[in-house]
Amino acid sequence: MWLEDYSPVESSEWGSNSAEISEKYKESAKRSGSGIKRTRKDEKKAKKHDFLLANFLVEIILKPEFDSLHGSMFACMDVGLNSNFALGVLSLVYEPISIKIREISGKEHTPFVPLTGELQEFHDYSIPDTIKFRINVWAEDLADIVSIETSHVSKESNFWVILSQEEKVLEFMSKVFWFFLSKNNIHIRESKSLSYSLFILGEVKKTLSSTPTEEI
């Protein structure tokens, strides 16, 4: 699964690694974007998919427990990241979103039971099985939520926002990742949280670059 492919990347390395990933997928995006017809029909599809999970966004905004995530979330949406991807990120900390994504994707949902006990440090090779499983489900949900964006407009918009605003997207993902672990009494360093977020974002980019789009 996802985490089994993860290799630790420290903060001094993730910036250069991010640049390599971006260059690779920029070229892919240029190829896939050439000759696209941005018709009204396609725009309607984009809007339909973008608001598929929009009601959850209201719930997130209204719940005080998520106040610390609002700034990075809105920073991403302000630069054009659509609500579906933002909610895919938040699905790690708000299980109803994950349930809906898996329903749409035709996958079984396994309820997550939060960890209790004393505060512990996060280590790459001793992640509790329940936490590892939940993170893998999160990565699946993110891949699935971008896969349903079959509209040319929505897919290409997401792709270019992720590439051009990667720092903001990574900050958002990292804060959500840190938030999730803290709620399960696990402390993780910021550089390590960024490293895992970078890895998962790289997998999402692969999904975006390989997902076919609907013909107009």
Per-residue pLDDT tens digits of the chain, which is 216 residues long: 556 666 665 544 444 444 454 454 445 444 434 433 443 444 444 444 444 567 888 899 999 999 999 999 999 988 888 788 899 999 999 999 999 999 988 999 999 999 888 899 999 888 999 999 999 999 999 988 877 755 666 667 777 888 888 999 999 999 999 999 999 999 999 999 999 999 999 888 887 777 655 544
Q: Give ∠ CA 205-54-208 in degrees, rounded to 5.
A: 10
Q: What is the pLDDT of residue 104?
A: 86
Enumerate the β-bridge partners of residue 196.
Answer: none
* Cα–Cα dist 58/49, whole Å: 17
Quick check: is 23 in a domain? no
Are 57 and 83 in contact, with CB atoms under 8 Å apart? yes
In a domain, 21, yes or no: no
Nearest Cα to 30, choosing from 143, 145, 159? Answer: 159
Query: Does some domain include residue 129?
Result: yes
The gap from C-alpha 190 to its chain's centroid, in whole angstroms, comes to 17
Q: Is residue 128 part of a domain?
A: yes
Contacts of 66-70 spanning 24+ positions with Cβ under 8 A: 66/90, 66/93, 66/94, 68/175, 68/179, 69/93, 69/172, 69/175, 69/176, 69/179
Q: How far apart are the first and last CA of the chain?
A: 34
106: left (phi over 0), alpha (psi -120 to 50) or beta: left
Which residue is it, tokens 């920073």? 75
Q: Is residue 3 part of a domain?
A: no
- Quick check: is 95 in a domain? yes
Q: What is the pTM of this model?
A: 0.76
Q: H or E segment at 187?
A: strand 186-187
**What is the model's pLDDT at position 153?**
67
In a domain, 11, yes or no: no
Q: Determine phi and psi for 46, rounding to 5 degrees.
A: -60, -45
- Fill in the DSSP letter of residue 120: E
Residues spanned by the domain of 183: 39-110+119-210
Total domains present in the chain: 1
